Amino acid sequence: MFACRRLFYFRRKLSIVNVLTIIAHPNTASFNYAILDRVETGVRKAGHEVKRRDLYAPLFDPVLSADELGALQKGEVCAAVRQEQALLEWAEALIFVYPLWWFDRPAVLKGWCDRVFTHGFAFSYGEQGVVGLLEHKKALVLITAGGSESEMTAMGATSDSILFPMTEGSLKFCGVEAVQGQVFYGVGTISDEARAGLLDEVEGMGRLL
């Protein structure tokens, strides 16, 4: 019995994954941060390593300037962007947590993608078209929405269409192998019991990453 337990322990140690969480919400008391805390708890309970990148602390400049764009075209990457890319190089899996603003990511996260997912680092162009260069095995995208699912669907916004810009347009485009996502609707109006159940679900997602 003891030998079996030791074997299980070594298997867990060998399967440790470096997980980078990225949150884009200005209010640390928001439900987004509760989600972040619980998904990280699940990741740690699974035995993985976690680093957190809060794009508001310190604030990441989301503006891709003309000067920076010109430098990128010469293959030059500024120090601030290289620092973010170093975090991505450390990570084997990614978790994004953010609210749905104007049917997309908050500007700070969209700008982070604009500036950090650079040509030659996150993607390149080959004879067959775009080649994704990010080697992360998986990513999880968790989005909160103020409206109910029925309200959003009535406007033509399904979970798939809400997730698409990040899951397909950014992550899979850049080569991330397996990308999953979930939209949590009506987070401002659901009951405390429903919130607690949602957070339990999120922790389970972290355990299974």
Amino acid of residue 177? E
Residues 120-173 pLDDT 10s = 999 999 888 999 999 899 999 999 999 999 999 999 999 999 999 999 999 999
Residue 181 pLDDT more than 80?
A: yes
- Please tell me the predicted confidence (pLDDT) of residue 127: 85
CB 60 within 8 A of CB 133: no
Average pLDDT over residues 105-114: 98
Closest CA to 35 of 179, 151, 181: 181
Task: Tell if the pTM clears 0.85, that is, is over it.
Answer: yes
CA atoms of 130 and 173, how far apart (whole Å): 8
Amino acid of residue 60? F
CA atoms of 92 and 77, how far apart (whole Å): 22
